[in-house]
Structure 1
Amino acid sequence: MPLSRRSFLAGVVAAPVLGGLAGCAGTVVQPGDLSRLRIMAPASPGGGWDTTARVMQRVIQQSGLARNVQVFNVEGAGGVIGLGQLGREDDDALLMMMGLVMVGAVDTNDSSTRLTDVTPIARLIGETELIAAPPDAPFDDIAGFVEVWAADPAATPIAGGSAGGTDQILAGLLAQAAGIDPAQVNYIPYSGGGESLSAMLGGQVTAGISGTADYGPQVASGDLKGLAVSTAERSDQVPDVPTLIESGFDVEVSNWRGVMARPGMTAGAREDLIALVVDTHDSDEWAEALENNGWDDLLLTGDDYAEFLAAEEARVREILVQIGLIQ
């Protein structure tokens, strides 16, 4: 079982400070020694994984759970460059941030390192996806959009983030649920929510998919029509926008994020990392971070998280095959 908050903190206080080694790969810590910690964000600074890693860093340090926490970035290929690096690590005091995007990127980039090659620690948070349309769209809800979409998928371009990412996965799953061939979806990938927003406002696409944080303010102001959100519950950011399930489409997607650790670690070392994550989650500082960032609390640890990952891998792989991104 994970260490209690009190016993975990006691172990941290008793452990020597190894701050000078915080940036050194290949340093094996002693069991229970998490007085220093590294968190890899396998993407460029400023993105979702990087932001979550840095919030986690701040909360861990503010809560006194570790004295020295370093975040570093390893960019490239939807996170699989970082995943490959994690697969070669032997540092028990290292976590890698990841999420749904990486599940698809492993296949679309034909990664030699799989998620099953590293150690699942915990799922942390999720973000709601929002499907929106330009204000002058000839429909007012997701059912109306799907009717237009089904009539001519090729002539109904949908904006979203990078190919194979969460937005395209959601587009494929919705097409599947609506009886549209996912391979016929005219998906236009953009580098971020800002670019896809501009495409919608400029009339270049029929609809767009992105995080609620990207489109929510424009929906609230009336500059976009909110059609549906992807999670089981409505989003507090756009409370008047119904869920896909409410609207009659059996689709639920959360842009979740979690953390993984190196392969081959001992059960004790894994439990120490799980305890660290649980204690971080239970802190007042983390609750405040969830509220401030509009994140859903999706904590799931250890073997339960591993089972969730296996199910997500199967679901994502199936839809990416149907879309035609992988064989």
Structure 2
Amino acid sequence: MTDDVQTSRFRRTLTIGAVAVSAFALAACSSGATDGGDADAGAPADISALDVIAPADPGGGWDQTARAVSAALTGDELVGSAPVTNIGGAGGTVGLASLATETDFQTVMVTGSVMVGAVETNASENRIEDMTPIARLTQEPLVIVVPADSEFETVEDLVDAIVEDGPQVTVTGGSAGGIDHILAGQLLVEAGVDAADVPTTLNYIANSGGGEALTMLLGGTSMVGISGVGEFAESVESGDLRALAVSSAEPALMLPDVPTLQDEGIDIELTNWRGLLAPGDISAEQQQALVDLVTEMHDGGAWTDAVETNGWTDAFLTGDDFQAFLDEDITLTQETLRTIGLTS
């Protein structure tokens, strides 16, 4: 394969979240959603309460999303209660394993780009494809930050230091193989590091939630952080952290003065999406009831306020459109992980 073809293939994976709706994708759907499943298959689809799983420890983007969903559902009186349970570990795959054993259809779990990557790098027995897709909710750019007194003034300074000093430069973010890790790897490949050398050049310290990464940065145990804008924005605004760049094509709503990677001459665009899954073995009626409930939540004032407050971008998808997006995102993530040397 020529360098030009490799570059083309690599750059095609940079915007994870591009939707290519094929006939196969439109036909695809969760096995639990089509065959009726075993979990309360004959139960009424009325939803009076909803359990919400955040597959990460408190403080990160999944936790923020789960609590925003809970607050919107109860704030607009769509359900009587929507308790949040944190099940952290292994990039969300511990939570995914828990969802796989759930027998109550009135349960949803936050998912997103990080989990798509973690399923691959952890060789998870439970896969997103085995669950029932409900909705994609939001997307959010990532931000690269350093402590306020860091020697790194630009992303170029940072990348040059990693290329020269390798593991001496510590980078922290979400789970291994997740979107934060992917962005760090992409920065090195874009700088000319061979994909096979990325795992040994990059000293990436994985965490199960954004709160842990923030603690490491503020405590001086990591030199660089990568996460969703919403997880670091408050610390950037307070002056505890400095933002070097965001990964979106346009400036982030919460950090409008921070340049994009493309502004810095780095041809990378990458956004983190988040959405909801339900257990795999539920009926089509139960899936539709969950979709209807989440659609009503999305259209309500409480959720609209949460999206604005957190600086998220609305990216709502349900049904075949969300299924097609998932199929494409999983395929592109698999290709990207191979490209940057994180999977074989």
Distance of 1:190 and 1:44 partners within structure 2? 9
Quote how far apart the aligned CAs of 1:265 are.
3.6
- Conserved? CA contact 2:246–2:260, under 8 Å: yes
2:123 is the alignment partner of 1:110: yes
Task: Choose 42-51 or 278-287, whichever is displaced more.
Answer: 42-51
Q: Higher Cα Rg: structure 1 or 2?
A: 1
How far apart, in 2, do the equivalents of 1:321 and 1:81 lie?
23
1:169 maps to a residue whose letter is I
Partner of 1:313: 330
Q: CA 1:133/1:59 → structure 2, altered by over 3 Å: closer, same or farther?
A: closer
Question: Which runs of 5 or more structure 2 residues have no equivalent in the other structure?
Answer: 1-37
Mean alpha-carbon deviation: is it higher for 63-72 or for 303-312? 63-72
Alignment of 1:21-40 (within 5 A): 26-28=39-41, 30-40=43-53
Mapping of residues 229-308 of structure 1, within 5 Å: 229-308=246-325
Q: How many pairs were matched up?
A: 303
TM-score under structure 1 length normalisation? 0.78
In structure 2, do the counterparts of structure 1 residues 216 and 35 end up closer, same or farther at CA, with 3 Å as the change threshold? closer
Identical positions, percent = 45
| Corresponding residue of 1:51 | 64
Q: Is the deviation greater in 215-224 or in 164-173?
A: 215-224
Q: Would you say 1:63 and 2:76 are equivalent positions?
A: yes
CA contact (8 A) 1:28 1:90 kept: no
Distance in structure 2 (CA, Å) of the matches to 1:44 and 1:238: 25
Partner of 1:36, secondary structure, is: coil
Alpha carbons of structure 1 residues 161 and 278: separation in structure 2 relative to 1, 3 Å: same
Worse-superposed segment, 312-321 or 186-195? 186-195
> How many angstroms apart in 2 are the aligned matches of 1:72 and 1:187?
28
The SS at the match of 2:328 is helix
* CA shift in 2, pair 1:148/1:81, >3 Å: closer
The residue number in structure 2 matching 1:132 is: 145
Q: Which residue of 1 aligns with 2:8?
A: none
Over residues 249-289 of structure 1, what are the superposed CA-to-partner deviations in whole Å (9 max), with x where a residue is unaligned?
23222332211122244433322222211110110111111
Query: In 2, distance between residues paired with 1:256 and 1:103?
Result: 10
Aligned to 1:78: 91
Q: Aligned in 2, Cα 1:180/1:124: closer, same or farther, shift over 3 Å?
A: same
Task: Summarize the Cα distance change of 1:206–1:43 in structure 2 as closer, same or farther, 3 Å threshold.
Answer: closer
Distance 2:188 2:104 in 1: 43
CA spacing shift, 1:191–1:88, aligned 2, 3 Å: closer
1:51–1:207 distance in 2 versus 1, CA, 3 Å? closer
Change (3 A) 1:188 1:266: closer
Question: Shift in Å at residue 131 of structure 1?
Answer: 0.8
| Map of 1:4 onto structure 2 | none
SS at match of 1:255: strand
Secondary structure class of the residue paired with 1:303 = helix
Secondary structure, counterpart of 1:82 in structure 2: helix
Query: Following the alignment from structure 1 to structure 2, what is the Cα–Cα distance between the partners of residues 188 and 247?
Result: 25
Deviates more, 1:46-55 or 1:287-296: 46-55
> Are residues 118 and 205 of structure 1, via their aligned partners in 2, closer, same or farther at CA, if it must alter by over 3 Å?
closer
Deviation at 1:320, TM superposition (A): 3.3
Say if 1:205 and 1:57 are closer, same or farther in 2 by CA, change over 3 A.
closer
CA-CA distance at 1:294 after TM superposition: 2.7
Cα gap change, 1:205 to 1:310, in 2 (>3 Å) = same
TM-score normalized with structure 2 length: 0.75
Does the C-alpha gap of structure 1 residues 36 and 114 become closer, same or farther in structure 2, counting only changes over 3 Å?
same
Return closer, same or farther for 1:82/1:29 CA change in 2, 3 Å cut-off: farther
SS of structure 1 residue aligned to 2:65? helix
